[in-house]
């Protein structure tokens, strides 16, 4: 059997191509979010996100390239910017809290837990903005730009109001639903779902809320004392 001239170069090329394809191949995951949104990620997510499909995206696959473009590129919150951003967004928080009959301290607690006041934060699951809205939730509440602080707080506050009304003002269930979706809370008998992420989330938000209320109370007392001093002078 005669081999073509320079056949070893052809074999080397094929081997290199195979290795390259193996290296470029990427594992991706398709999930369904609590609000029904479909998200593609490069890493595994915990419940309440439901795994739809695990897939390998191979080099040269047209369908794989389309999916690749949809994979979430997370951006961790800029925690250091919290001290600057919190007072900057306070006016919006107060206005939306008043509109939806919420206490501002609750909105602040959710924003801090969700994004640390970074409007450009993007989670590994594809939630975006101050109140980390998923695409279906944003659409549900008329949010067209999830990075807009005003729109994000508007959508998040509206959602919290809906959840509080639905669960008879049970704050714990409303907070759990904001993370896991109201369907999950109903599924588990109107209790916090047994998801580690959701359980930790409820603890975190309530911790921030207690701190915010304590701070507001202290500020109110200080303000009243100063007012009394002025009236007495």
Active site residues: 114
Q: What are phi and psi of 168, to 5 degrees?
A: 55, 45
| Burial status of residue 180 (CB atoms within 10 A of its CB: 0-12, 13-18, 19 or more) | buried
Query: What's the rounded Cα separation, in Å, for the pair 73 and 225?
Result: 50
Query: What's the rounded Cα separation, in Å, for the pair 200 and 81?
Result: 23
Q: 121-130 b/e with 16+ CB inside 10 Å = b?
A: bbbbbbbbbb
The closest of 212, 189, 112 to 156, measured between CA atoms, is 112
C-alpha gyration radius of the chain:
24
Residue 38: strand, helix, or coil: strand
The contacts found for 166-171 with CB under 8 angstroms, 24 or more apart, are 171/106, 171/206
The closest of 167, 88, 71 to 122, measured between CA atoms, is 71
């Amino acid at each position: 059997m005669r081999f073509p001239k320079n056949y070893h170069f052809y074999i080397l090329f094929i081997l290199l191509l195979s290795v390259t394809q193996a290296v470029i191949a990427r594992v991706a995951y398709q999930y369904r979010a609590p609000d029904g949104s479909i998200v593609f990620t490069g890493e595994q997510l915990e419940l309440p996100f439901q795994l739809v499909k695990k897939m390998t995206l191979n080099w040269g696959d047209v369908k794989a390239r389309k999916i690749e473009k949809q994979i979430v590129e997370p951006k961790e919150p800029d925690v250091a910017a919290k001290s600057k951003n919190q007072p900057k967004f306070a006016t919006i928080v107060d206005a939306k809290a008043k509109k939806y009959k919420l206490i501002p301290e609750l909105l602040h607690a959710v924003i801090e837990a969700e994004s640390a006041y970074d409007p450009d934060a993007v989670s590994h699951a594809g939630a975006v903005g101050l109140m980390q809205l998923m695409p279906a939730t944003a659409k549900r509440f008329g949010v067209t730009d999830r990075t807009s602080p005003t729109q994000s707080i508007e959508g998040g506050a509206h959602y919290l109001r809906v959840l509080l009304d639905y669960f008879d003002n049970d704050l714990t269930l409303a907070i759990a639903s904001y993370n896991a979706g109201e369907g999950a809370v109903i599924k588990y008998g109107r209790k916090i779902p047994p998801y580690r992420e959701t359980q930790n989330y409820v603890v975190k938000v309530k911790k921030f809320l207690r701190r915010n209320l304590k701070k507001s109370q202290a500020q109110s007392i200080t303000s009243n004392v100063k007012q009394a001093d002025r009236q007495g002078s």
